[in-house]
Structures are given as C-alpha cells and as structure tokens.
C-alpha cells in the first residue's frame, strides 16, 4: 500500500475517533453542541483562552460524567481491537480474539467471587484483573508442560483453563444465588465509571500494552510466512510471540477489569481494517486501535440513549452490530487467514 493511501487511512481513522468523541461528549439528556464543546476545550488551554466556557452545570456533566466514560471507552476499545489483531497474527487464526487463552473466563471467575463474597465495590476490578492474568498464566504453563511452544497446544490449554474457570464460576453462583443479577450485569459489559479513577487505573496498562504490540508489527508481518521462514530471516519467533501475547493479555485483563466482558470488538474491527486497508500489520494494528476506540465510544452512546433513562449493557450493542457484520466479513473473506 502506497504512503499516500496509508496516510488517508490514518486521517480517516483519526477523523472517525474525533466524531465518536464529540458524539460521546455531546449526546445525552442534556445535549451539548459540538461548538460549545470546542469552546469549552479551548477555554481550558493554558495559552489560547479563545473559547467560551460552558455554564457550571454543563461543564460538570461534560468533565465529571461524560468525559471519563468516553476516555474509558476509547481505551478499552483500542485495547480490545489491537489485542484481537495481535492474537490473530500470533496464532495465524482469523477467529482468534483477546479472550482466546482464558482471559474472559478468569476475569469472570474473579469478578463473580468479588461480588458474591465481598459485595464487589473497589475490589471488583482487582479481582477481575487477578483472575484474568491467573487464567492466562495457567494456560501458558499448562501448554508449555505438555506440548512445548506449539500454538495449537497453547490454544487447547486455554480452552481447558477457561472450561475449569467457567465451572468454578457456576459453582460460586449456585452457592450465592442472590448475586446472579449483579454478576450478569458485569458479564454483559458496562462503561459506567466512578470518575477519572477508572481511567487512570487502566491507562498505564493499556498504554504499555499498545506500545509493545505496535512496536512488533513488522515482526508480525514476517511471521505470516511461517515460523521456520521467519527464523531464517532473523526474527526471534519465540521471543516475539511471547512478548506480543503477554502484552495483549495484560492490556485485555486491565480492560475487562473495568469494563466487564465486551464481545466482538477484538474480532470484527481487525477484520474490517483488513478488508478496507489491506493485510499488513504495520497498518492493521494501529488503525484497528483507532477504529476500535471510535466503535466502542459510539456503541456506548447507543447503549445509554437507546432506552433512556434506562441503559443497555454495551455488550448487547456490540453483539447486535458485531455479529451480523462478522458474518458478512467471513463470507467476503472466505475464512482467509490473517
């Protein structure tokens, strides 16, 4: 793909994210026009001071309620989309997603235990993160112990660990039936925040994970030819695979710890980028991050306005959009590998 075409895709992805952010900040029971948002942002700049600030009520709605939610949605969406593309590259499997090695099941078990035994609260994100990382660590150690570093063995180990974690979660729920509704709400995903604390909690993990994944995008392009061929070209295959999987897992665990389990983002967005902009991971991974952020912010706008004043779980919105689109993508690509 030529540099000019690639630049246009970068601009398109950035423009989609800007539109999504403006929609996320402006749409709601108390609507705020894009011009008013721009004026408020300009008035906050230390040098410019060229805008007109919002009134106190609108400013509170913007900065304390909507901006943290939009920021969290952008971080989670970018992480899930980029991690999905990374998993598809490492395992050379177009159906791979960020939950492949048991992140979802481990996070679900941790969150369920926190809700059932501690009432959730501030312990919930920590328990979900610990459960997710423990599940993937167990899958990696199990895969290494029975089959070396083969990707197929690692995937099967992830399936086994996920099945065990799901069974344990079912047992906890059976013993604590009064927690089912709260657990179910978490499993369907949500971006409601307690302010900027959730954003600051997840940001370092997502930033480091995205940086590591994007830094390995050229090596992932080489891995597409096969492990032996990539090694002959000087790529440290085992080290690249471990670094990418570790980064994608860490970032995904942090994301689900604060957002719950949001499906389809990690599968649909990388496929859509390949369909639009080509298969090179030098383009796919960064652009998937931009479009994943935009997609999840817009999905959250739908989730909190479609049945206002009630709120849809964001996982329901992503499934409604993602499942039909994924079917179309699969039919178009004929299940071609990444």
What is the rounded CA–CA span in Å between residue 142 and residue 144? Answer: 5
Give the pLDDT mean for 88-100.
Answer: 87
What is the rounded CA–CA span in Å between residue 62 and residue 31? Answer: 10
In this predicted structure, the answer to whether residue 336 has a pLDDT above a threshold of 60 is: no
Q: Is 234 left (phi over 0), alpha (psi -120 to 50) or beta?
A: left
In this predicted structure, the answer to whether residue 266 has a pLDDT above a threshold of 50 is: yes
Tokens of 234: 């000087």
**Which domains does the chain show, CATH number per domain?**
3-333 (1.10.3470.10)
In this predicted structure, the answer to whether residue 228 has a pLDDT above a threshold of 90 is: no
Please report the pLDDT score of residue 118 as a whole number.
Answer: 87
What is the rounded CA–CA span in Å between residue 39 and residue 56? Answer: 14
Give the pLDDT mean for 20-29.
Answer: 92
In terms of Cα–Cα distance, which of 288, 302, 327, 87 is closest to 189? 302
Q: Tens digit of pLDDT for each residue in 96-127?
A: 889 989 999 999 999 999 999 988 777 889 99
What is the rounded CA–CA span in Å between residue 175 and residue 71? Answer: 37
Neighbour-count burial of 168, counting CB atoms closer than 10 A to its CB (0-12 exposed, 13-18 middle, 19+ buried): middle
Give the pLDDT mean for 232-246.
Answer: 89
What is the rounded CA–CA span in Å between residue 66 and residue 24? Answer: 7
Per-residue pLDDT band at 302 (split at 50, 70, 90): very high
| DSSP H or E run through 239 | helix 237-259
Give the pLDDT mean for 201-226.
Answer: 93
What is the rounded CA–CA span in Å between residue 74 and residue 77? Answer: 5
């Amino acid at each position: 793909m030529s540099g000019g075409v690639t630049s246009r895709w970068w601009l398109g992805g950035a423009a989609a994210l800007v539109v999504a952010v403006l929609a996320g900040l402006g749409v709601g029971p108390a609507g705020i026009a894009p011009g008013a948002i721009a004026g408020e942002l300009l008035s906050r700049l230390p040098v410019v001071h060229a805008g007109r600030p919002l009134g106190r009520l609108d400013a509170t709605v913007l900065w304390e309620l909507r901006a943290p939610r939009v920021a969290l949605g952008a971080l989670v969406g970018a992480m899930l989309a980029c991690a999905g593309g990374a998993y598809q590259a490492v395992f050379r499997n177009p159906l791979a997603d960020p939950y492949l090695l048991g992140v979802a099941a481990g996070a679900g078990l941790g969150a369920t235990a926190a809700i059932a035994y501690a009432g959730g609260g501030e312990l919930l994100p920590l328990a979900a993160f610990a459960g997710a990382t423990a599940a993937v660590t167990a899958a990696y150690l199990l895969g290494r112990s029975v089959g070396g570093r083969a990707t197929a063995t690692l995937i099967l180990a992830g399936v086994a660990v996920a099945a065990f974690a799901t069974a344990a979660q079912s047992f906890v729920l059976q013993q604590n039936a009064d927690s089912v509704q709260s657990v179910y709400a978490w499993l369907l995903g949500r971006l409601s925040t307690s302010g900027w604390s959730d954003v600051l909690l997840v940001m370092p993990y997502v930033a480091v994970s995205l940086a590591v994944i994007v830094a390995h995008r050229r090596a992932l392009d080489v891995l597409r030819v096969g492990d032996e061929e990539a090694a002959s070209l000087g790529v440290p295959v085992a080290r690249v695979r471990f670094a990418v999987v570790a980064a994608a897992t860490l970032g995904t665990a942090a994301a689900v710890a604060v957002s719950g389990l949001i499906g389809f983002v990690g599968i649909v967005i990388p496929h859509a980028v390949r369909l639009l902009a080509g298969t090179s991971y030098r383009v796919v991974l960064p652009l998937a991050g931009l479009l994943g952020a935009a997609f999840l912010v817009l999905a959250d706008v739908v989730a909190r306005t479609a049945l206002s004043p009630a709120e849809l779980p964001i996982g329901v919105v992503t499934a409604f959009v993602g499942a039909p689109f994924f079917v179309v993508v699969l039919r178009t690509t004929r299940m071609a590998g990444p």
